Amino acid sequence: MSPVRRAVAEDAEEVLRLRQVMIDAMGGADTSTDWQTESLPTIRARLADADGDFAAFVVDHPERPGALAALVAGTIEYRIGRTRNPHGTIGYVFSVATDPDQRRRGHARACMEVLLDWFREKGAGQVDLTASAEARPLYASLGFQRTPDPLMRLRF
C-alpha cells in the first residue's frame, strides 16, 4: 500500500472525483457531476490552507499516476463545551471513499488513522461521522460507537 499523505491543492479534481464515488456508492439520487466545476476553486483553497480547520488525507493510486486510490476528509467544528468535551472541539469525518479497484487493501483504514491523529492534534474531544452499513465494521474497529442522536437536515 502506498503511504498516506495530506492532500494538496493539486489533488482537488481527484478529491472531487472520489467524493462522487462515495455519493454514488451511497445511492445518491443525483448522479450529476455538474457541481464539481463550481466546487473546484473552493476545494483547492481549502486544500492549500494547511493550518485551517479542514484536512483531507489520501493514498495515491499505485497503477495510475496522478490518480488517488483513497480519500478521507474531515473538519474541526466548535460547539459550546460539555462534559467530556469542555472546549467544544469536535471532529467531523466525511467523504471516505476508495476507488472501486483499490478496495479491501487497507487504504481507508490507513487514511482514517492519520485523520484521527490530526483531530487529536487539533484538540478534538470527540469525532462524529455518518456511516454506511458497509463501513460500520471499519469504524467500529477504530472505536466508534453508534449513538441515539437523531439527525435532521434543512436544505437551503
Domains along the chain with CATH numbers: 4-141 (3.40.630.30)
* pLDDT score recorded for residue 45: 97
pLDDT at 25: 84
Whether pTM > 0.85 for this model: the answer is yes
Q: What is the mean pLDDT of each run of 10 residues along the chain (156 residues)?
A: 91 96 79 86 97 97 96 96 92 94 95 97 94 90 88 72
Contacts of 114 (CB under 8 A, 6+ apart): 4, 57, 72
pLDDT at 1: 60
Q: Give pLDDT, residue 154.
A: 65
Residue 121 CB-density burial (10 A; 0-12 exposed, 13-18 middle, 19+ buried): exposed
Q: 16, exposed or middle or buried, with CB in 10 Å at 0-12, 13-18, 19+?
A: buried
* In contact, 68 and 110? CB cutoff 8 Å: no
- Are residues 109 and 138 in contact, defined by beta-carbon separation less than 8 angstroms? yes
pLDDT at residue number 90: 94
C-alpha cell at 78: 466548535
pLDDT for 47 equals: 98
Map grid coordinates 465494521 to a residue.
137
Scored b (16 or more CB within 10 A) or e, 142-156 reads eebeeeeeeeeeeee
Query: What pLDDT, on the 0 to 100 scale, is given for residue 30?
Result: 65
Extract the C-alpha cell encoding 97: 471513499
pLDDT for res 16: 96
CA distance 89 to 63: 38
